[in-house]
Structure 1
C-alpha cells in the first residue's frame, strides 16, 4: 500500500524537515566563544621573558573568558615551530601565538623560503609591548664601557664568545659586530635562560639579554652592563647609557611581543580577545610582572598591529642586509 500525502501536507513535511535541519546546525553556528580552554603558544622555553609575561596574562584572562588559559611552550627553529603550530590550528580563537618579533619578523626575514608569511597567514589581535635588552659582559672582561670593550675585542679578534637564545639577540649581536668592527664567536642556544647560565659561569663573555632575567644579576655585580638597546635609558637601570650615548648611534633594534591567531579568525572573536587583553593590561597582576621585566605595555587595535608587523618586517630585512646577514 502506498501512502499518498496531500500537496499541502507534503509542503508542511518538507518545511518541518528543513526547520529541523536548521535547528541541528544552529547550536554549532551560534556557539559562544570561548567554548573550551584557550591556548597561548609561546615560542620560547619556560622562564624566558615572553613566557613570564604570557603566564601573567593567562592568569588574568582565565576568569575573564570563563575558560582555562594555558601556556604551551614550543621553542625551536627561531620561533617558527610555534608559528606553524598556530597557523595549523582552527581559526576559532582557541589557539593563539603569544609571539615576538622573532617568529613574526626576524625569522621570516632571515629565510629565503620562510615556513609562513606573517602578514597573510595570521590574524593580528593585539600589540602587547616592548622589551628592554642590555648589552652585558661577564665581570672577568676588562671593560667598563662600550668603548673599552670594543678596544678589547679588537685586540683579541676571534677569541671572545657571545651567546644568543633568540633571533633578536642574534640580529643585535651581528649588527653590533658589523658596526664596531669586531669579530667574535657566536654560540647559539635553544633559549635565553640557557645562554644566560653560561654567561654567568664565564663560558661566554658577552650577550644581548632581556632585562627581566638579567637585572637582578647586574645589581648583584654578576654581570656588567655596557649599554641598553632602547633609544632612551631604562628606568630599571637608569645609569646605563643607550647605544647611541655609548658611541654606536647607528645601532637600532626593536623587540616586541604581540598576539596573533590563525588566518581568517571571526571578527567578533578578534574583537573579544582584543578587549580582554586590553583590560588585562590594567590589572596589577600583569602590571607587576611587566615592571619586573622592564617590559613596556602598549596595546593596539588589530589593524594597527597588522600595519606595525609590516613595518617591522621591512625594518628587519634592511637591518639584516646592513649587517651582512644573507637569508638562508
Structure 2
C-alpha cells in the first residue's frame, strides 16, 4: 500500500480526517472560520516568479478574509520541501499551498521517491490559471525563430547548453531535444533569476523558463521569447507562436496554478477557501495581472481541480517517458 510519513496512506487519511472532524465538532461551524491568520506556502524564494503570484494572492485575500494572509517561502528540492511541509500541516485551512499544480503532479515522476503522494495528500480548493513555459534567448543573439535556434544548436552539437529552474522547464527542454534532434546539456538553477547572467554572457545558449520571469526580462529587453509550450496560443500573448507551430511537432505542455490544502481538511473550509480564491481570480485586476505574466485565468470547482491534478499525475508519467528523463534520487 505504501506509506506517508511512516504510516500507511489509509491510516494517514483516516487519522487526518478524524483530526479534521474533531476540530469541527463541539458546535464549530463554517462561520467560525477563520479564527486566526492564514499562511500561503510558496515553493520558491522571495523575488521568484512563483513568489510574485503567491504574494499577489495574499495581498488580495486579506481584505476579503479580514485576517492577515502571510507568505512563507519553503524553497528547495523542486518544490518537494514545500509540498511535504504543507501536507504535514494541520488540516484546518490555515496553511494553504499555492503552487503550480502541473509541477506538483510532475514531481511524482521526476523524483524516484517523492515525499508525498500528491493526489492523496492534497485537496485542490481552487485553480488559478493556465500558462505556458517559454523558450527564451539573449536579445543580442541573432535567432528570431525556433528553427534558426535549432539550426545553430545542431551545428554546435553536444557543446550546446540550456538553462532551466523548474520541472516543467526540464520536461520542455528534454522534449525539445528529443523531437528536434538537438543535443544540449541542461544546466539547472535554483531559480530563473540565477540563470540570467549566464544566459546573457554565452555560458548557456537558451532557456526554458516560466512566463513570469520570461516576460519580465523580455519587457526589459534582455531576453527574446521564441515560442510557448502550450498546444494552443493563449489570450495573454496571442502573438507568441507555440512550439508545435514553430516546428517542434507534438509538444503540448500546459502549466496551471492552484491552491491546495491537506486532504483531510473539512469540506466547509475547502468551500470557503474556494469562494475566496475564486473571488480574487474572477476580478478584472487579476485577469490583467495573470495576462501580464503569460497566463489566462482559470476557475474550476474543487472537484474539477482535483480531477485535473490526478489526470496530470498520469500525463507526467508519459512526459517523462517520452523525454527519457531519469528520475532524481
In 2 relative to 1, CA 248–103 (structure 1 residues): closer, same or farther, beyond 3 Å?
Answer: closer
CA distance in 2, matches of 1:236, 1:162: 25
Corresponding residue number in structure 1 for 2:278? 278
CA distance in 2, matches of 1:241, 1:278: 29
Q: Secondary structure at the match of 1:325?
A: coil
Q: Secondary structure at the match of 1:75?
A: coil
Report how far residue 102 of structure 1 moved. Answer: 5.5
Report how far residue 47 of structure 1 moved. Answer: 2.3
Report matched runs for 1:119-198 at 5 Å. 119-198=119-198
CA distance in 2, matches of 1:271, 1:107: 27
> TM-score with structure 1 length normalisation?
0.86
Corresponding residue number in structure 1 for 2:326? 326
CA displacement, residues 26-70 of structure 1 (integer Å, 9 cap, x when unaligned):
477888111111111011122222221221111121121121001
- Structure with max Cα Rg: 1
Corresponding residue number in structure 2 for 1:8? none
Residue 46 in structure 1 maps to residue 55 in structure 2: no
Corresponding residue number in structure 2 for 1:5? none
Corresponding residue number in structure 2 for 1:10? none
CA distance in 1, matches of 2:159, 2:139: 17
Report how far residue 183 of structure 1 moved. Answer: 1.2
The farther-off stretch of 209-218 and 242-251 is 209-218
Q: Secondary structure at the match of 2:135?
A: strand
Corresponding residue number in structure 2 for 1:16? none
Corresponding residue number in structure 1 for 2:214? 214
Corresponding residue number in structure 2 for 1:56? 56
> TM-score with structure 2 length normalisation?
0.86
Corresponding residue number in structure 1 for 2:4? none
- Where does the alignment leave 5 or more consecutive residues of structure 1 unmatched? 1-24
RMSD: 2.1
Corresponding residue number in structure 2 for 1:269? 269
CA displacement, residues 279-322 of structure 1 (integer Å, 9 cap, x when unaligned):
11133443332122122110111111111011111111101101
Residue 291 in structure 1 maps to residue 291 in structure 2: yes
Corresponding residue number in structure 2 for 1:229? 229
Is the Cα–Cα contact under 8 Å of residues 214 and 225 in structure 2 kept in the other structure?
A: no
Corresponding residue number in structure 1 for 2:9? none
Report how far residue 149 of structure 1 moved. Answer: 1.3
Corresponding residue number in structure 2 for 1:314? 314
CA distance in 1, matches of 2:46, 2:197: 14
Corresponding residue number in structure 1 for 2:37? 37
In 2 relative to 1, CA 64–251 (structure 1 residues): closer, same or farther, beyond 3 Å?
Answer: same
Is the Cα–Cα contact under 8 Å of residues 110 and 167 in structure 2 kept in the other structure?
A: no
